[in-house]
């Protein structure tokens, strides 16, 4: 009754992608913020 992928492995994989997505969004928001205020921020 055991499937190929364990739920734990799948959960870890999803968490990793979520982490990358959050970092990407934060950089994107930082860039938008910097542009709207016409200042250079190191993200």
| 9 φ, ψ (degrees, to nearest 5) | -65, -40
Task: Give, in degrees to the nearest 5, the angle at Cα 40 between 38 and 41.
Answer: 125
For the record, the structure tokens of 12 come out as 């870890």
Contact 10, 16 (CB under 8 A): no
Q: pLDDT band for 38, please (50, 70, 90 cuts).
A: low
Q: Provide the whole-model pTM.
A: 0.53
Q: pLDDT band for 22, please (50, 70, 90 cuts).
A: very high
In a domain, 17, yes or no: yes
Residue 37 to residue 43: CA distance in whole angstroms: 14
In a domain, 23, yes or no: yes
* Model pLDDT, residue 24: 95
* Model pLDDT, residue 19: 95
Give the range among 16-20, 26-30, 31-35 with minimum mean pLDDT.
31-35
In a domain, 2, yes or no: no
Tell me the average pLDDT of the chain.
Answer: 82
Q: Average pLDDT, stretch 8-18?
A: 91
Enclosing domain of residue 40:
8-43
């Amino acid at each position: 009754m055991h499937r190929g992928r364990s739920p734990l492995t799948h959960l870890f994989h999803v968490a990793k992608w979520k982490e990358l997505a959050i970092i990407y969004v934060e950089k994107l928001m930082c860039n938008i913020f910097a542009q709207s205020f016409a200042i250079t921020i190191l993200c």
